[in-house]
Structure 1
Amino acid sequence: MKVAVIRKEHFNSAHRLYNPKWTDEKNEKVFGKCNNPNFHGHNYDLYVKLIGEPDPETGYVYDMKVLSDLIRDKVIQKFDHKNLNQDTDEFRSLNPTAENIAVVIWNILRKEIDPSLELKVTLYETERNIVEYPAD
């Protein structure tokens, strides 16, 4: 009997989508407004989903308070109110697209969560732009 538990969190970050190997013209053409050299920001909604068997003693798949603290300590504190390009090691040489942000968050959390639990990260960059990793 597998059950999914989901924790929703929120953070705000600025970024610039830019490929340093390209000309300014190509970056502008590909990334448009997201290539603004002065950066731009998003109010991200993050959903972390764990799937597994409930513990017979606690009834939990995963203690949601522990999950909340883990996300806060490992993700939110790292990315909230930060310029992803300039303030984080993860995106100094990795373009901070929503896709890459979701993968980075998944990798951070995967190291901390029992591998017997399936982990999925869903990141809402906007109300209409949503990324899920891993994809089904």
Structure 2
Amino acid sequence: MIFLTRKAEFSAAHFYWVEDWTEEKNHRIFGKCANRNGHGHNYTIEVTVAGEVDPVTGFVVDLKQLKDILEREVISVYDHRHLNLEVPEFRSSLPTTENIAIAIWKRLEDKIPNAKLHRIRVYEMPDLFADFYGEQG
């Protein structure tokens, strides 16, 4: 078994706000992230897959195919979007770093041929990231 990781980047805006809370509570809990106009980040994601090396190609997965899947399933959906307003999964959950990692997993699960999704890592900033290893993690 070998692990292969591919990086990708996207830029997006988001805010944190719980409708059932008062404005005061939202600002107390989320600080400046509670600005309803949002703020942006340049996110970096790492997608790690696990599998056996094909003895003919030497690959765990075709890298072009993996890049195309990431582009179709994640980057084209998230890049230059306001996550709260434009991405369906964040209409009902806050687009935190943790929830973005989970959402990306769900978008990619069972879509990468000949490999098993092992980890999603989402960097919101260089010193802040979340890892998700699936529900069984």
Q: TM-score range by the shorter chain?
A: over 0.9
CA–CA distance in structure 1, aligned partners of residues 110 and 34 of structure 2: 32
- Equivalent pair of 1:99/1:131 in contact (CA under 8 Å): yes
CA–CA distance in structure 1, aligned partners of residues 121 and 9 of structure 2: 12
Query: Could you tell me which residue of structure 2 aligns to residue 123 of structure 1?
Result: 122
Query: Could you tell me which residue of structure 2 aligns to residue 76 of structure 1?
Result: 75
**Quick check: 1:49 aligned with 2:48?**
yes
Gap change, CA 1:22 and 1:4, over 3 Å in 2: same
CA–CA distance in structure 2, aligned partners of residues 5 and 50 of structure 1: 5
The alignment's TM-score, normalised by the length of structure 1, stands at: 0.93
Question: What per-residue deviation string (whole Å, max 9, x for no partner) do you get for residues 108-132 of structure 1?
Answer: 0003124852421000000111100
- Equivalent pair of 1:55/1:61 in contact (CA under 8 Å): yes
CA–CA distance in structure 1, aligned partners of residues 105 and 65 of structure 2: 16
CA–CA distance in structure 2, aligned partners of residues 79 and 115 of structure 1: 25
Query: Could you tell me which residue of structure 2 aligns to residue 7 of structure 1?
Result: 6
- Equivalent pair of 1:110/1:119 in contact (CA under 8 Å): no
Question: What per-residue deviation string (whole Å, max 9, x for no partner) do you get for residues 79-125 of structure 1?
Answer: 00000011111111111111001100011000312485242100000
Query: Could you tell me which residue of structure 1 aligns to residue 58 of structure 2?
Result: 59
CA–CA distance in structure 2, aligned partners of residues 42 and 114 of structure 1: 31
Bigger Cα displacement from structure 2, 108-117 vs 33-42? 108-117
Q: Give the secondary-structure state (helix, strand or coil) at the position aligned to 2:28.
A: helix
Amino acid at match of 2:22: T
Gap change, CA 1:61 and 1:116, over 3 Å in 2: closer
- Equivalent pair of 2:48/2:118 in contact (CA under 8 Å): yes
RMSD: 1.5
Identity %: 41
Once superposed, which parts of structure 1, at least 4 consecutive aligned residues long, lie more than 6 Å away?
Answer: none
Question: What per-residue deviation string (whole Å, max 9, x for no partner) do you get for residues 13-42 of structure 1?
Answer: 000111111111111111111111110000
Gap change, CA 1:38 and 1:48, over 3 Å in 2: same
